[in-house]
Each structure stands twice: as C-alpha cells, then as structure tokens.
Amino acid sequence: MKKSILNYDYIKQCITEEGQVPYLASHGATWLNLGDGLIIYTLINFFKLKTCVCLGSGGGFIPRIMSQARYDLSLEGYYKEEQYEWGDNGTTYIVDAMNGVNGKTNWESEDSFFRKHFNPLFIKDTTENAYYNYFVKRDIWFDLIHIDANHTLEGVTKDFELYSQHLLPNGIITIHDTDKSWMEESIEVEGHEGDDLTGPSEFIKTIDTEKFEVINFFNNGIRRDFPSSTGLTIVRKR
C-alpha cells in the first residue's frame, strides 16, 4: 500500500490543530494541507536555514513550520556543532506587538499549545523597536525573514529595509499577502475583513531586481473548490 510522505496525523494534531489555527486559508492551507507553508518548510530544509524570524504571527502557522523544519533537520544530523533545542539562540523568533493590527493572535498565553510545544522566542513589540532594541543590540543575523506584519506599503517597506540589513549572505526573505488578484476580486481574507492588505503587493513592484532575485508563488483561481494562498513572494540577494 502506498503511503503519503507527510504525517497527516501530526499535521492535524500539531501544525493545524484540526484546522483551528487562525488564518490557515490565507496560506492556502487546510487542516491537512500545508499550503504555502510547505514552501517555507522546503526552503529551510533545502538551504539548511537556521535562524528564522517571523514578523507578525497570526495564529502561529508559519512559526510552527519554521520550528518543525529546523527540528527535522536536527534529526538528520545538522547543527552538530552545538546542542540543538527549540528556543535556543538559533531558532524561531516571533515579533508581534499584539495590537490587533492586520490580524489577531490566539496564543499569547504561555500555556497555549503553540508556545508549549514549539517554544518560539517571542518579542512583544513593534518590528522597528524589536530590530533596534533586540536584534541589533545582540548582533543577531537571519537565515530566513518572513514579513507578515504591518500590511501598509510604508510598513512592509520599513520591515524589508531594516531586517534585510541583518540577512546572512545566503539568506532568504519571504513576504506574505503579495497576490494583488485577491484585492482586485474583493475576496475577503479570513480575519482581515475590511483591512487594507495592498501594501505587500505594491511593495514587491519596488524591489531592486538587480540586487535581489524575486519569485512569486500565486495560485489564486487554480482550484476554486480549494483554498488558495494570498500570495507568497521569495526574495534572495543576488
């Protein structure tokens, strides 16, 4: 009998929590399908990325993927040079002001399943404050930066300009909600009803393609009977 390469029982239990993790649909994910989260997982696995930061957290879906991918690499023998534990200096950072702008979180409590099981390093602050007061002061650099915080053009631009300064030479930046077709079709995004989400799609037009490679993953409209991602853009230094 053929078996899936994915452990669906674990996905249901820990990654999507039976579909109860907020904003899954915006990632094209369901209680069984990882959507664009599988792209994040593959990037970490393929490039052996270590230090990840998620700007804006929602229900913690992408931070779960980050931590899981790095943990799976540790099982294969990577990171041998040091003790690998979730929550160490080279794991998943989350920056979220918890102010309800462009989405609400449901895992702030230390007793939440997400924090107990995945143990991310959580910085409750704005992305700008966290950059200067935490990462710069500690000279922390990133293999992977996921931008999904303030969705105005000004907010996305500032996050990119700041955090890209601490991107390692082979590092990658991913930006969520970059598919403009969602806004053009007036499709309501779960948890973002009435929010202005145009910033990410406008920002990617301004990226200097002589300095950065840009790849868009858009699947809106491919299958109307399944959720599709609101867009994931991958940016890498040339």
> What would the pLDDT profile of 106-122 be if each residue is shown by its tens digit?
666 777 888 888 888 89
Per the structure, the count of domains in the chain is 1
Task: Give 84's pLDDT tier (boundaries 50, 70, 90).
Answer: very low
Distances from the Cα of 167 to the Cαs of 51, 52, 144, 196, in angstroms?
Answer: 10, 10, 8, 28
Can you tell me the distance from the alpha carbon of 61 to that of 16, in angstroms, rounded to the nearest whole number? 7
CB-count exposure of residue 80 (10 Å: 0-12, 13-18, 19+): exposed
Task: Give 78's pLDDT tier (boundaries 50, 70, 90).
Answer: confident
Task: Give 86's pLDDT tier (boundaries 50, 70, 90).
Answer: very low
Query: Is there a domain that residue 61 lies in?
Result: yes
Can you tell me the distance from the alpha carbon of 108 to that of 219, in angstroms, rounded to the nearest whole number? 31
Per-residue tokens: 130 = 């966290």
Indicate the SS3 state at residue 55: strand
> What would the pLDDT profile of 199-217 be if each residue is shown by its tens digit?
999 999 999 999 999 999 9
Per-residue tokens: 126 = 């704005």
- Identify the domain containing residue 194 by its residue range: 8-79+90-237
CA 49 from chain center: how many Å? 14
Query: Is there a domain that residue 103 lies in?
Result: yes
Instruction: Report the CATH number that the domain containing residue 203 is assigned in CATH.
Output: 3.40.50.150
Q: Which amino acid is at 118?
A: F
Q: What is the pLDDT of residue 213?
A: 97
Can you tell me the distance from the alpha carbon of 159 to that of 145, in angstroms, rounded to the nearest whole number? 10
Query: Is there a domain that residue 84 lies in?
Result: no
> What would the pLDDT profile of 122-178 be if each residue is shown by its tens digit?
999 999 999 999 999 999 999 999 999 999 999 999 999 999 999 999 999 999 999
Residue pair 71/90 in contact (Cβ under 8 Å)? The answer is no
Query: Is there a domain that residue 2 lies in?
Result: no
